[in-house]
Amino acid sequence: MISVHVDQRDLNKCLRDVRKWSEKKQNGVWNEMVDAANNTTREAVSKVPAKTRRLRNDINSVFNKAKLTTKSGTKVNYAPYVEFGTGTLVDVPEGLEDYAMQFKGQGIRQVNLPARPYLFPAFFKEQKELLKRLKTLFKR
């Protein structure tokens, strides 16, 4: 699952501010977040290599309106190796190094699989679109 860390104090302040908005605006933000998660999931599924059917079928979105969170991802254990590759063919996008390091192998055997990114490109694309939609929502 993709998740973004936000300082708890900042999150609490943001949630207090959000709860002061009109119900219509709160629902608008929530609907945009749900759309963003669903779009990310749909895009990721379309980019997963055909050979990885189990991975493709397991990508999903999870929603928690009470905490204002959405997640897109999979629990398939080999998903990061498809995303980032293995061995000498690892390709980690800038800014994801710390996240990708948790999947680093032990060097016991050499398996070189090319990176076939599907989830993070979908996330970054949708992140930009979500910000545009939220700006439009707040201009109303």
DSSP annotation string for 52-118: -HHHHHH-EEEEETTTTEEEEE---TTHHHHHH--GGG----TT-HHHHHTT---SSS---------
Instruction: Tell me the pLDDT band of 42, cut-offs 50, 70 and 90.
Output: very high
**Which residue range is the domain that position 110 belongs to?**
8-139
Is residue 62 in a domain?
yes
- The pLDDT value recorded for residue 6 is 59
Query: How many domains are contained in the chain?
Result: 1
CB 30 within 8 A of CB 67: no
In a domain, 36, yes or no: yes
pLDDT band at residue 67, thresholds of 50, 70 and 90?
A: confident
Residue 86 within any structural domain of the chain = yes
Residue 107 lies in a domain: yes
Regarding predicted confidence, which is higher, 24 or 29? 29
**Beta-carbon contacts of residue 124 (< 8 Å; ≥ 6 apart):** none
Q: Dihedral sign, CA of 32, 30, 76, 113?
A: positive
CA nearest 105: which of 130, 129, 85? 85
- The pair of three-digit structure tokens given for residue 77, joined into one six-digit string: 């254990």
Tell me what the pLDDT averaged over the chain comes to.
87
Q: Judge whether 71 lies within some domain.
A: yes
pLDDT at 108: 74
User: How many H-runs (helices) and E-runs (strands) does the chain carry?
Assistant: 6, 2
Is the pLDDT at 4 greater than 90? The verdict is: no
Task: Specify if 3 maps to a domain.
Answer: no
Per the domain annotation, does 2 fall within a domain?
Answer: no
126 is a domain residue: yes
